Amino acid sequence: MSKPKAWVSRPFFPDIVDRLREHFDVVQEPEERSFTPDELAARLKDADAAIVGLVDRIDAGVLAHAPGLRFVANLGVGYNNLDLDALTAAGVGASNTPDVLNETVADYAWALMLAAARRVGEAERWLRAGQWQGSRFEGWLGADVHGKTIGILGMGRIGQAIARRAAGFRAPVLYHNRSRLDAAIERECGARYVDKATLLAQADHLILVLPFTPANRHTIGAGELKAMKPTATLTNIARGGIVDDEALARALAAGEIAAAALDVFEGEPQVHPALLEQGNVVLSPHIASASRDTRRDMASLAVDNVLAAFGHGPCAGRPPT
Ligand code: DGY
């Protein structure tokens, strides 16, 4: 009997893909790129399963050309690239990669926030440009992080991992979330629930960790930025589109907040040109989960999820809900 077919949309760890090959005929793309809807449709036409990345949009249009598709595994915890209604209507299962990346993404959120607060990117660019002629006692003054109020908007597992790290900085944590956490989890994370207005007004360093949905597009726009402290920083490791990038660039230029750090952008890999002109923003190419170990764990979980969907092994990852 012939094996079912799996399409893997980007190259990764051959030893992990080999586990898939035991049960599937695998077609794996040789290089990382984004695919147009037509290209996705052509690649999925004969596929029974697919492993896709965050830039591969799987919607009703693509699914209409993929009659045999039974399962899509997303290489990421966020899954706004998957149209879940369309997948359900087509009877196609889906999974993401929760939990395995929580700590790595939390590390990176702190790295970005610290870099923004202490102006690491700006100072490095200045040094590399040969402008360091001697020490400047009042040069490169940034904001402290230790002892300052950390604000977290979106308090799922990654938000909680970010909050736990604050203890080492003796920094109080405020959070806002759709629903309040159990008191025991709040205690364990050392985090206090507040409404969004209080979070914006009191955070010295605000970190965004919400999933992207159409309802929370531009959750942080001109009004929210004005409501923040002029000394505050804003870090987005969640999804582009949660922040209105143009409004952010204006707020940074006007000194409405001190600095920002962004790993994600609306319309990435494009970055809003107004942001590129601002010195006081750290920009990185959506790499919060990109540690060697975690990317292996994510790939492995995606493969496990496909295998489980076809009856080979226990279900290893919960499907998106
Ligand atoms: C995810 O998994 O959704 C992250 O954005 C990857 O860095």
Pick the CATH number of 5-100+292-309 from 1.10.260.40, 3.40.50.360, 3.30.1310.10, 3.40.50.720: 3.40.50.720
d(CA 287, CA 113): 14
**Virtual torsion, Cα 28, 32, 34, 40, nearest 10 deg:** 0
Please state the pTM of the whole predicted model.
0.95
Q: How far is the CA of 213 from the centre of ligand 1 (A)?
A: 15
Atom 4 (ligand 1) nearest CA: 76
pLDDT tens per residue, range 238-293: 999 999 999 999 999 999 999 999 999 999 999 999 999 999 999 999 999 999 99
CATH code for residues 102-283: 3.40.50.720
Q: Answer whether 78 contacts ligand 1 (Cβ < 6 A).
A: yes
Q: Which of 289, 291, 293 has most ligand 1 atoms within 8 Å of CB, for mutation?
A: 289
Q: Which of 12, 32, 52, 77 has most ligand 1 atoms within 8 Å of CB, for mutation?
A: 77
CB 162 within 8 A of CB 188: no
Enumerate the CATH 3.40.50.720 domain ranges in the chain, comma separated.
5-100+292-309, 102-283
Beta-strand ranges (E) seen in 186-256 are: 191-193, 205-208, 233-236
Interface predicted TM-score of the whole assembly (ipTM), two decimals: 0.92
pLDDT tens per residue, range 152-198: 999 999 999 999 999 999 999 999 999 999 999 999 999 999 999 99
